[in-house]
Amino acid sequence: MATDIRAELSNCGVSAQKTRLVIDMVRGKNAVEALATLKFANKVAAVHVGKLIASAVANAEENFGVSREDLVVYKITADEAPTRKWRRFGARGRFKPLLRRSSHITVVLREKE
């Protein structure tokens, strides 16, 4: 039975849509290879996802005694978090809503068979 190592990031300041572009690059990859890929990705969300995967790898090594070379990104998701709504005032007494979207990111690592 393979153990799942989970790590979660709540209320990340990047929208879920932009984060999904980054997590699609690392889904199913080896954890070390995923960290190397994210290090050179030219996206803001890559920093947050990289820290989260590094945290999950550290959890696996410390709590479960699993080597980092044996870990695979089994499942990774980005869900929508609460949206902050701001006002920007426009012409003729109107205002334009500004939506500051955020996301919840969850990563599950699993040992290679």
| E strand map for the chain | 4-12, 71-80, 84-89, 95-100, 103-111
pLDDT of 112: 87
Q: Taking every pair of C-alpha atoms in the chain, what is the biggest distance, in angstroms?
A: 65
pLDDT of 102: 97
Domain of residue 17 covers 4-111
> Each residue's pLDDT tens digit in the chain (113 positions)?
568 999 999 999 999 999 999 999 999 999 999 999 999 999 999 999 999 999 999 999 999 999 999 999 999 999 999 999 999 998 998 999 999 999 999 999 999 87
pLDDT of 3: 82
CATH code assigned at 14: 3.90.470.10
